[in-house]
Structure 1
């Protein structure tokens, strides 16, 4: 069988058409960027009062988050036997770091007169108290209820034996079915963790008196 004969001009036209098709294909692939979401601090509704025994400088340690949740793609549903990511939805920064920063901002509002910062923030002031959070659940369930579960502990730096710990098992009904409503509900639950941390920092035993020789 004889090969079809193409002129030099026809070959150039075919090559240009193929290149244009490839460019359009790549452009189509690049147009599906995910929507980025961020947790937001939740303001307190009542005036806060800080007890005198609360440490003057508090560090919120970077929360522990399991690898099943600490991913760019947001986990939409987390049930006993499955984790389902949300297509086209991603966190604007690593979840553990974002949780630490939002929690420290929430806690600062609840402890006026104290300095609160997230771990690895640029600061030269040594921390006197620490807040530690471990997250095991941070998503909807199959029925649509939003959950935040894990544990919370607070203690004076260098005195973990006299710290206070409590399990976390919080839930909320989002105002809608979309991702934005879920993230808003998770922000509200993070604010509740800050409420609990503030209460336990208020309840810490007084710092031992310094002994002078």
Structure 2
């Protein structure tokens, strides 16, 4: 009889605890988006570690950022640190756009004397109050013996929904647009 009471209590306790458990988070990654291939870029291109503001350096996905408040998506997490993922996807985007070049990351295993160095500093990557994705960044392209080419801009657009896959697809598109701009800087004639 006592064993029956304990097993009922144990079952009730297990059910109560199961009701309190939160679901496993969904893990997401960014992905490269094909662009228009270009010729005339330097042969070896080093992509430096992407600069990222502290508010983005977290495992959770930020749904929106207001003037002074962040909103995280419930149970949605990055599968790898965002700064590393931005560098990896930018490398893939640039490699596809610049087929005659070898694009390698500063944080990777390859070391070579680059013909050009690309630096990216992200100031913002989130949705604005209207729901549009905003990627705000400054880029610099450096070549030996030449003044750096720098640019600052906003890339992005409205996601096709508020769920995590739609927001991530909008981030992918914004990152692809940034890669297009970097590829244009790398293939532009040297000033002077």
The alignment's TM-score, normalised by the length of structure 2, stands at 0.88
1:115 and 2:106 matched: no
Aligned CA-pair RMSD: 2.2
Of 50, 64, 69, 2:39 maps to: 50
Q: Which residue of 2 is the match for residue 183 of structure 1?
A: 168
2:44–2:103 CA contact under 8 A, matched in 1: yes
- Looking at CA atoms only, which structure, 1 or 2, has the larger radius of gyration? 1
Per the alignment, in what secondary structure is the counterpart of residue 189 of structure 1?
helix
For structure 2, list consecutive stretches of 5 or more residues without a partner in the other structure: none
Q: 1:42-61 CA distances to partner (integer Å, 9 max, x unpaired)?
A: 111x4x2321xx32111222
* Equivalent-residue separation in structure 1 for 2:54 and 2:13 (angstroms): 36
Q: Which residue of 1 is the match for residue 55 of structure 2?
A: 68
For structure 1, list consecutive stretches of 5 or more residues without a partner in the other structure: 1-8, 207-213
2:45–2:114 CA contact under 8 A, matched in 1: yes
Q: 1:169-208 CA distances to partner (integer Å, 9 max, x unpaired)?
A: 12302222322111111101100111111111113639xx
Residues 17, 187 of structure 1: CA spacing in aligned structure 2 closer, same or farther, 3 A cutoff?
same
1:134 and 2:121 matched: yes
Per the alignment, in what secondary structure is the counterpart of residue 85 of structure 1?
strand
Aligned length: 191
Structure 1 stretches of at least 4 aligned residues deviating more than 6 Å after TM superposition: none
